[in-house]
Structures are given as structure tokens and as C-alpha cells.
Structure 1
Amino acid sequence: MNNTLTLERIDQVVSIDLSYELKAYLFNRFSLNDDYEVSSIVEDEGIQFWKETLFNFSGRKDIFGLLKECYSPLNSLIEKESDKVERYIDIILKGNTNDIKLKHYLKLEDSKNIRFEVHESIAGKIPVLIIPHKEDFAKIVQCLVYKNNPVTIPSSMGAVLLNGLNNSKRLNMIKKNWLQNNPSGDWNKEFLDNVMPNKSLYKDKMIILSTKPYSNVLGRQLGITENLWNSYSVSIRLEHEFTHLYMLKKYGQDANNLHGELIADYIGIIKTTWNYNKMWMLTFMGLENYPHYREGARLENYIKDSKLSSDDFRQLIKIVKNAIENIAIFDKCIGKLRSTKDQMCRIDALCEIGLIDLASANGADLLIEIYYENFHRELF
């Protein structure tokens, strides 16, 4: 362990007398995926489809028309319990669109400025849908994540990583090719036996990204210009989602809770500005005036389905605050990001430690120790 740097530590006493509900919420869900291989981090099936499709796409009027061909939910209105109504079933589940009138299609405010690109990340290539209009972002998330139901999308939510999104165009291409080679064959049997079990043939991973200020925080709250903050916001958001993709591939899940968010935000910040700014992180979570919590901040997005009491919440914000402080100590100790291996070892260490240990008085020391163990293990 690197002991050359002495840093002043804050009082980091976290009560070990946590409720069952809070302990369950804080349970470390990251465990190494048994099927993980270095090769699996390179490229998913379907990336070739998107590279070829986008290469041949030039000259078409806008990307949204192509997306509607691939993702059926974009061909239906956002309606209450829309996944249960007859029209949704016809369009999404049966693929029947011949009798659907134009008024039933989703309309966006600014479809012409949507961008769809294949990006290289720490976890390999992935398609990224970039949506400048904030209302359009909410609509597309409602369609693709919430089955066209009018779920409220928090203002502090600006991106989502989708894992397992049905691509109708890919599936239709598989069907067409199979029927050409097997004109007398039973496609339904082929689909059930050989296609449906192999979800990578027709399901996509994708990042949906907005361009609004990160965590619904304005530049003036951080002491920087809005133009600079808008640029930083897109970069932080993209690197944040790349980190979730890495965690998904290596650990079998991206742990969409505060543990995973602190990790992804840490990487997003240092990849954007090369220095971890704990005040930014505290502000993202509504803790810039700790112990006061700012209502409506992003922290709420990750506990809405939990059964935490008000006492649990008070304990939780203390844990989050202390974890952020210890991440700052860790970052200062090991220095600026040097390589992809360095980045992976930082993520791995943060995944392995767990929030309760990370928030403890010796959390920074534990994190540094795990990091160096992982880093040196990778050398041999």
C-alpha cells in the first residue's frame, strides 16, 4: 500500500446498528461473473449490424425513422397501461402495423437532431442514442424502458443503459435468411429451438443519453460557466454509462443503486476533468450542505423502491457522504488516471469493497489496499 501521502480525515463514524432494510439495501451485489472472459469485453453481437446499418444510412431523412424500424415500442403512443391495450399488443408483440393510423405513432419535438452512434468504451463498442430535447428523452425512455407507460422521469435522470432490447429488424433479417435457405422449414420451431434461447441474436445493448445538465445541476451551482458545464455533462454522463456497461459485463449486473452510482460518477468525473471533485459528487446527490439533504436530488432515484425509514435515510446520507470523502482520499493517493488497466482496477476495487466498508473510518485504506492488490495481480 502507498503510505507516502498523509491526509487529514474527517470524523467517519457510521453506526453499525443498521436496520435490516438498510443492511439489505447496502448489501454488495457485485460478484465476479463466472462466464466473464477478457474477450467478452471486446464486442457484442449486433455491433456489426449497427456499424453496417449506420454506414448505409447516409441520405435518409432522420435517424428516428430507422429506430422505429428496429424498436417497435417507438411505434405506439405513451398511454396508461399501454402494454396491456390491444393496439400495443398488436404492434409490439405481434408486429401487426398495417392497420395502425399515423396518429397512433409517437411524435417527438426534435427528431431531426437525434444522433445515433457506435462508441468505443472501456467495455467494448456500444450504440449510443443522443437526444438533445429533454422531453424527447423522457418520451423515448418511457417507450423503451417502461413499455410506453407514462412513468414520471425524474429531471435528475439523464441517461440509461438498456440491456436486452428487442431489435425487430435484426430478428426479421434472421427470419428472412433462414426461410430463404429452408423454404419448406418450420420457422416457428426454428425460432423456439435455436433463436429465442440465443438472445444476443436479436437483443441489443444501448445507451440513451440526454444533453441536459448532469444530475439536473446547473453550472453556477458548481462555480463554472453553463457552456463548459454542458460540455462536461455529456462527457460525465457517457463515461458513467460506459462504467455501468463494464460492471454489467464483468460482474453480471450493473447494480443500479447508490453503490454503482458512486462508482460510475467517480469514473465519469476523472475521465472528464482528470481530477475527482468531491463537491461535485456531493452536489449530484443533494448533499452539498450536509447534513442537510436537498429534496429532489438524484439520490432519491435509487431508493424509491426500497423500504427505508426516515432514520434509515439519515443513516444512508451519512454513509454516502463518508463514502464520497473516502473516494476523494483514494483518488488523491493513487494520482491521475494513467491507463485503461488503471481504470479497470479502480472500478474493480470500488465494486469489491461494499458501501458500508467504504464509508468506515478506514474505508480509504481498505480501498487503496484492494486497488494495489488488483493492480499488481494484473502485472503477472
Structure 2
Amino acid sequence: MSDQQSFRTDVLTYFGATAAQVEELLVYNQNVFDHNTLTDRVKFPLTSESHIPAWEEYAVSAKVLGVFEVLKQRLVQFQFPIIEGISQTEAYQSATRRGVATDRMVATGLVLQEPEKLQLILHQSLAGTIPVLLTGNRKDFVCLVQALTKRNEPQPVPNSMGACIVSGFNNWDRIRQYRQQWSAENPANCSQRSWLAEFERLIPQKQLYQDKFIILSNSSYSNVSAKHIGLEKAQWQHLSLTIRLEHECTHYFTRRLFNSMRNNIFDELVADYRGIVAAIGTYRADWFLHFLGLESFPNYREGGRLQNYLGNPSLSDGAFGILQVLVKAAAENLQSFHVEYVSQLRDANIQPLMLMALTNLTLEELASLEAHFRIKKILDRLQKNWGVEMCNLVSLQ
């Protein structure tokens, strides 16, 4: 057993986990961020990915036609309604798997309640520019999530879910544009047979046709009302949008830097940390616990976000109980650390390093009595490696 695993086991035992629960949680809380992929120092924000020019073109066209109309022309999923079983039809599979034109295939396309309120924002995040689709109401958000991540099937979307980052989206519009350019460059050899050979060469180059983007709702964050958070409705809606956007951008950050973006509570803790800090300039553990359904700990509120991250296979009830204790301790330790160094952590140079530092830890380490020491040690090392000069960072050295 490694020193880290032994330490994690001791922490879990300290918090009351049985041997079986320790085994479950060691697997669930395993750190899978691949830090070996980051071999060189990078500059933030990262260079934008290759799908951004296509979305910049969509944004330009949207100024004339509207976002919804443009996306209906470009993304095949917008050309199908949300109907149970539609993903199994020949028309849908031909369009989404082979890029066959949908003309005369379907009687109606995607239907939104307020299509005129759909916005396309090209947001500059730490991980580079990323397209954001912001809906005007909850039902339209659910509709877009179902169309773009659930194959236009009416699968349920939890009420506590107000954002979704889409990764590995096959954009047939980009493939069509690629074919047009290839045909123009090969006028004497652009037959259907030649194109099929070229298409086989294209398939491994996923950056040329797979997109990443974010779908956002404008509802209260984690389905928590302004009243329960102690704010006015308009103020909370504004803060909710910031938290939600930066939360999803943090998933994008870890995906680009460390090749990982999981449906896991530790990922959520890091992402909510970034979102809350971006919204109000500091971190509040009580907000995070409220978002999860742990505002009345040790009681858990059914419908809280925490139950969305039970893993596969799902944690046992006993392990879920220990997870709640870990999450509370980790959030409070993170707040304590942030408050102590809040002036330093406001520096734009240190903010991405803080996120990187957290990805080096596990939930057990962050929940432990050594949390401050472990965050500080990693942040010091990253600061040294990245050459970040901060006159006020003496207390971190």
C-alpha cells in the first residue's frame, strides 16, 4: 500500500468508515487527473481549440438570423424534435452517424418555448475560449440537454442540474466544411470514393470535427432559491449565472490540462470553489453545502446535488454517509485556507495554480487535519515551477 493510500485509509477510518466502506471510498475518491500530460509550463488563458473558428462563424451569422435559426442550419440535432424512440429511427441515425442531409426526413425540428432568447456567447476562460449556449428558461435548457447529450430522447434532467458541458460532440457541419475545402484543393480527385478514403483518414483527427461547448440555464444555482441563500432574487440570479459558468469552465480546465472531467463529487468541489470565488471574491463552504443538500448536516436534503454523484457502481448507503462527512470537512478546510490567504489568491497569476493544486489532492486529504499543509506545499511547488512572482506570498513559502 502506498503512503498516500495508507494516509487516505487512516482518514476514512478516523471518520468512522468500516473496512468495506473504506474499500468503496478508496476507489470512488481515487485521483485520476493525469498530471503527466502537463510536461511544459503553459500560459493562461490557454490557446483556444480548433473548433472555435466554426463557432465564431455561427456567432456572426446569429447577429443576422438569430442563434436558434443558425444552429438549426448547422447542428443536426436541432433538426429533430424531442420524442421517445427517435434515436432508433433510420433518419436520426443516418443524420447523426453518417451526416446524411435531413431534408424531407422529418416533419419538425427542435421546438423551444423562447427560441428568441437563446444566446451564443464565446466565453474567454482560463482554458481558452469556449462556446456557451444560454437559454431563456428552464424548459428550453432541458430541451437542449436532451437534444445534444441524450440523442433527442426525453430522458429526465435533475432539477438540481442547471448546466452541462458537452465534450466530444461530432459536428457534421465542420465535416461538411472540411469536405468542401478538400474538394476545392483536389478538384481532379474528389469523387465519392476518394472522399470516403479521405474520411477514413479524418476520423482519427478528432480535433477537426469534435467540439466542446457549454449549455447554461438562467435559473437559481443548484435549484437553491434566493430566499434560502439570503439574497435578493435579482442578485442571486446574477451570481448564479457566474457560478454556473465558471463551474463548467473549471471542468473544461481539468479536461484540457489533465485529461479528466468526471461526474464525481471532488470534481464538483473544485468547480464550485472556482465558481463561488469568481462570483463573490471569496469561498463560502455553507453555500457549497447548501448546493449539495447538506445545509442541515448531518441531515441530507433529498434532491440535493450530492446524490447526482454516487459513482458507477453506486456507493452503498453507508459509504454515502461517510462521503457526506468528508465533503463537509473538505469544504470547511478549503474555506479556512482561502480566507487565510484571500488577498494572495485574488491574484490572476495564482488562481489557475490554486485549481491545479487542488487537482493534486484527494477528498480524504482535503478533509484531513493536514489539509492546509498539503495545499500549501503543492501551491509552493507550482509557484516555483511556474515562476510566479508575488510580493505578498511570503506566508505561503
Scaled by the length of structure 1, the TM-score of the pair is: 0.91
Alignment of 1:308-327 (within 5 A): 308-327=315-334
Among residues 157, 160, 164, which one is paired with 2:161 in the alignment? 157
The separation in 1 between residues aligned to 2:82 and 2:369, in whole angstroms, is 48
Identity %: 33
Flag the 1:13–1:332 CA change in 2: closer, same or farther, 3 A: farther
Superposed counterparts of 1:23-34, under 5 Å: 23-34=26-37
| 1:36–1:250 CA contact under 8 A, matched in 2 | no
Q: Paired residue for 1:6?
A: none
Alignment of 1:1-380 (within 5 A): 13-15=14-16, 17=19, 18-34=21-37, 38=42, 41-60=46-65, 62-94=66-98, 95-103=100-108, 105-183=109-187, 184-185=189-190, 186-193=194-201, 195-303=202-310, 305-336=312-343, 337-379=345-387
CA RMSD after TM alignment: 1.9
**Cα deviation per residue 1:227-259 (whole Å; 9 max; x = unaligned)?**
100000000011111111111111011233100
Partner Cα separation in structure 1 for residue 293 and residue 259 of structure 2:
29
Structure 2 alignment gaps of length 5 or more: 1-12, 389-397
What is the deviation of 1:136?
A: 0.8
How far off is 1:317 after superposition? 0.4
TM-fit CA distance, 1:165: 1.1
> Aligned partner of 2:35: which letter?
L
1: CA distance between counterparts of 2:243 and 2:314?
30
1: CA distance, partners of 2:39 / 2:140? 36
Bigger mean CA deviation after superposition, 17-26 or 197-206:
17-26
Q: Give the deviation of 1:147 after TM superposition.
A: 1.2
Instruction: Provide the rounded CA distance (Å) in 2 between the counterparts of 1:173 and 1:303.
Output: 41
**Distance change in 2, residues 1:152/1:284 (3 Å):** same
Conserved in 2, the CA contact under 8 Å of 1:13 and 1:361?
no
Q: What's the CA shift for 1:178?
A: 1.2
Aligned length: 366
Q: Which amino acid aligns with 2:153?
A: N
Q: Distance in 1 between matches of 2:312 and 2:73?
A: 33
TM normalised by structure 2 equals 0.87
- Give yes or no for contact 1:21–1:307 (8 Å, CA) kept in 2: no
Where do 5+ consecutive residues of structure 1 fail to align?
1-11
The verdict on how the C-alpha distance between 1:57 and 1:142 changes in structure 2, with shifts beyond 3 A counting, is closer
Q: Which moved more, 1:297-306 or 1:212-221?
A: 297-306
Answer whether contact 1:29 1:255 (CA < 8 A) is retained: no
Counterpart of 1:53, as a letter, is Y
Distance 1:41 1:360 in 2: 33
Partner of 2:8: none
User: For 1:41, what is the secondary structure of its paired residue?
Assistant: coil
Paired residues of 1:262 and 1:324 also in contact (CA < 8 A): yes
